[in-house]
Structure 1
Amino acid sequence: MGGVDLPPPPRDDADVPRWTAELGLPGLVDVHVHFLPERMLRKVWDYFEQAETHYGVPWPVQYKLPESERYALLEQLGVLRFAPLTYPHKPGMGEWLTGWAGEFADAHPRAVRTATLYPEPSVADYLGRAVDDGARMVKVHVQVGAFDPRDPQLRDAWGLLAEAGVPAVVHCGDGPIPGDHTGLGIFAEVLEAHPSLRIVLAHAGMPDFRGALELLDRFPNLVLDTTMVGTAFSERMAPLPADWPARLADHPGRIVLGTDFPNIPYPYAEQLQAIHAWAAAEPRLGHGFLRSVLYDAPAEVLGVRDELPA
């Protein structure tokens, strides 16, 4: 495994605190978690129950639990801060979901305030209010929203985020299924128009991992999140390049922890096992890479570094 000396990876969720402690980490920071209004969440879970129809593979949601139990589980895993992400699929939802996410964060101290957006006349207004109220992350889901991120109605919203320095986690890749406006080349045009935008590329651009790495070379304010990347489930649909660990070593500090909790078809620990395997496979990664991905880099993205233990 490249001769990298690391503690054993977590065996399961209960073993995650042991692993982070042996790495010398106070805990984890996760930029890609989903909490939604209950009725909306139930519809999302119903969709995943029909995953064989939508995606061609079953997708049993691992953590189909009441909201309080899901939050408690993140605490037990040692997640010190996380971004609770929402996403609209039609006009009129963006402002409502942004308000809901703010109230959720106010009631849950490990959650940061987040916002979302949709191309509509009011988007810059409600997004601006969210930024003024302390939003630390904005969720943009091009595939679910079925909108073009280059839509002129979003121009002011992108400009607002660029000026404020508030990052957006953007699902714009073609996985798990492509949409009319997905593909990294399309979103690259947004980055070209707003080069100071701070973007977290969700799922590391899955399945176009090489394209995502090329975007890292072009846009210094871009990072990749690990959401579902390298897990056994995803490897069957979107396998990583064989040189993935070596390529990550060329981009220090540009990879951050994301998981898609709770809507994943496997335990949380499996994502951490995949990240651990990358660190163990490449001598240039190792312990420093794990600390960066799991803690330092996502804390920096969410603007919470000063709130957390060193």
Structure 2
Amino acid sequence: MNQPFLWTGLFVIAGFAMAQTKNEPQPIIDVHLHSVTLQTLKNDVRTPLPIPELKPSESVEQHIKQTLAVMDRYNVVLGLVSGYDYEIGEQFRQSAPNRVWSGPQFGRPRLNIDTLRMRYNAGLFSVMGELTMQYMGFSPSDPGLDPYFSLAESLNVPVSIHTGISFSGITRVAPNFRVSLGNPLLFEELLNRHPNLRVWLAHGGWPYLEETIGILLVYPQVYLDIAVIDWIIPREEFYAYLKALIRAGFGWRIMYGSDQMSWPETIGLGIEAINQADFLSAEQKRDILYNNAARFLRLTPEQIAKHHGKIAK
């Protein structure tokens, strides 16, 4: 990690945190958002959720508009958006270019490396992933993915990779999905082949607590997000998992994510789960909701100042 950048970023974030009053809205970064196709929205009408009143957006345009509206409501100043349809992802990015970073979502190593490099160099992509090879039935350390990780490493692009589980009955639509392929221990070969790659574990590695702690302990370049587990699993279970990660000393590596998929209102559900966690201090909440992601993404002092409303937008 770039130490001068790290300390500069820490001082800038701490300074703005002290300067803001309790009445001012605090900025939030959501590192796990998705653009979706119309077919996905139609299919997700039948997706079983623990919150039956949640309804998917009815069109791609409405999904983008509703997602940005919820971001406005909760002062989400930056969202990292990935999707399988890159044109829809670009439509999302262009709807709020100062607030949306886009990245490719894929599960199989079929994308043209030169085309990807061109998109990064043009500023169309800023991150890589969420990568979903687990749904395709292979490990994140599969050698076939090395060209993509080498590209991300050379461009200093952070990479998000799916971990853990999925919806109940997922193998009916993704027959190659295996729970065992969501184990964070499978990242080890990847991390050793690409030691300068910045990786974050989507969904926090849940329910693989001990394995996640082991990876975080040995590999300091790894962070995680708490997307979807912050609203879809029982609150008591989510809090127990979050407490365990913090107790193990990794509160500074946990980033907020929603994984809103087809349901933009879930962005607020995840944020409220953090704000309502009485075992978290105000500082710990700010770390999860903004500071950790700002550090991991290597935001500049100017970007941080803008997010805190200290310079003209």
TM-score category of the 2 structures, normalised to the smaller one? 0.7 to 0.9
**Equivalence for 1:86:** 83
Instruction: Please give the residue correspondences for 1:1-310 in structure 2 after superposition, counting only pairs within 5 Å.
Output: 22=22, 26-36=26-36, 40=37, 42-52=38-48, 61-62=54-55, 64=57, 66=62, 67-87=64-84, 97-109=85-97, 110-134=99-123, 135-139=125-129, 140-176=131-167, 179-180=177-178, 181-231=181-231, 233-235=232-234, 239-240=237-238, 242=240, 244-249=242-247, 250-264=249-263, 267-278=266-277, 280-281=278-279, 285-305=280-300, 306-309=302-305, 310=308
Post-superposition CA distance 1:45-90 (Å, at most 9, x none):
34333334xx9x6766445251323322322221111011113xxx
8 Å contact 1:191–1:197 — kept in the other structure?
Answer: yes
Post-superposition CA distance 1:240-287 (Å, at most 9, x none):
484742531511420111001253597433312322344x31xxx512
TM-score, normalization: structure 2?
A: 0.73
**1:245–1:121 CA distance, 2 compared to 1 (3 A):** closer
TM-score, normalization: structure 1?
A: 0.73
8 Å contact 1:21–1:27 — kept in the other structure?
Answer: no
Give the Cα–Cα distance (whole angstroms) in 1 for the partners of residues 110 and 101 of structure 2: 26
**1:147–1:34 CA distance, 2 compared to 1 (3 A):** same
Give the Cα–Cα distance (whole angstroms) in 1 for the partners of residues 105 and 230 of structure 2: 27
Percent identity between the aligned chains?
A: 21
For structure 1, the 5+ residue unaligned runs are: 1-19, 88-96
**1:163–1:23 CA distance, 2 compared to 1 (3 A):** farther
**1:300–1:242 CA distance, 2 compared to 1 (3 A):** closer
**Equivalence for 1:9:** none
**One-letter code aligned to 2:192:** E
For structure 2, the 5+ residue unaligned runs are: 1-19, 172-176, 309-313
**One-letter code aligned to 1:218:** V
**1:24–1:201 CA distance, 2 compared to 1 (3 A):** farther
**1:47–1:61 CA distance, 2 compared to 1 (3 A):** farther
Give the Cα–Cα distance (whole angstroms) in 1 for the partners of residues 239 and 157 of structure 2: 31
- The Cα shift of 1:99 comes to 5.0
- The Cα shift of 1:150 comes to 3.2
SS in 1 for 2:29: strand
Measured on the aligned residues, the alpha-carbon RMSD in Å equals 3.1
**One-letter code aligned to 1:239:** E
- The Cα shift of 1:208 comes to 1.5
**One-letter code aligned to 2:47:** A
Give the Cα–Cα distance (whole angstroms) in 1 for the partners of residues 141 and 219 of structure 2: 17
SS in 1 for 2:101: coil
**1:153–1:243 CA distance, 2 compared to 1 (3 A):** closer
Which one is further off, 292-301 or 121-130?
A: 121-130
**1:228–1:104 CA distance, 2 compared to 1 (3 A):** closer
Give the Cα–Cα distance (whole angstroms) in 2 for the partners of residues 240 and 77 of structure 1: 21
Post-superposition CA distance 1:94-121 (Å, at most 9, x none):
xxx3454245313323111323344345
- The Cα shift of 1:195 comes to 2.4
**1:272–1:241 CA distance, 2 compared to 1 (3 A):** closer
Post-superposition CA distance 1:135-172 (Å, at most 9, x none):
32111122344444333332111112122221111113
**1:117–1:287 CA distance, 2 compared to 1 (3 A):** same
Give the Cα–Cα distance (whole angstroms) in 1 for the partners of residues 208 and 291 of structure 2: 26
8 Å contact 1:84–1:112 — kept in the other structure?
Answer: yes
Give the Cα–Cα distance (whole angstroms) in 1 for the partners of residues 127 and 297 of structure 2: 7
Which one is further off, 246-255 or 117-126?
A: 117-126
Give the Cα–Cα distance (whole angstroms) in 2 for the partners of residues 182 and 245 of structure 1: 21
Query: What is the count of residue pairs matched by the alignment?
Result: 269
